[in-house]
Amino acid sequence: MRTFQLRRYDIAEGKMPEFTAWLDQTLIPVRKQFGFQIEFRLIETKANRFIWCVSLPGDEAEFLKVQDAYAASAERAAAFESFPECIESSEIGFVEALDLSK
């Protein structure tokens, strides 16, 4: 069993390159230290929206347990010291993966 969380961010105009560079170089390595897998990352260019999906083995309760440890970690706090203030709004929720090849 694997739990998936879809994360959608509306990014301030002109800030997408700065945000994605920070994400790649700073935040994703920290998430990976906690066991998160990055399933995909997308940019909806016209809406200036960044969409990505992270997952962990286990159920939603296990995901939330790991997410809480990650959120409280010194590593995450250090990563956010260089965060480019650019997220105007966000929507985060759990999603179910389907096998679309069937």
The C-alpha atoms of residue 75 and residue 86 are separated, in whole angstroms, by: 21
Instruction: Give the per-residue pLDDT at 100.
Output: 58
Q: What is the CA radius of gyration of the chain?
A: 14
pLDDT band at 9 (very low <50, low <70, confident <90, very high): very high
* Beta strand extents in the chain (DSSP E only): 2-11, 37-44, 49-57, 87-95
Structure tokens of 101? 């090849």
Residue 101 has pLDDT above 70, yes or no: no
Instruction: Determine which helix (DSSP H) or strand (DSSP E) holds 47, and give its type and residue range.
Output: none
> Does the domain spanning 2-94 belong to CATH 3.40.50.620?
no
pLDDT bin (cut points 50, 70, 90) of residue 99 is confident
Residue 102 has pLDDT above 60, yes or no: no
Average pLDDT estimate for 31-54: 97
Count of all residues that appear for the chain in the document = 102
38 touches 54 (CB < 8 A): yes
Sheet order of strands, 2-11 included = 37-44, 49-57, 2-11, 87-95
Would you place residue 76 in the very low, low, confident or very high pLDDT band (cuts 50, 70, 90)?
very high
The pLDDT of 26-35, averaged and rounded, is 97
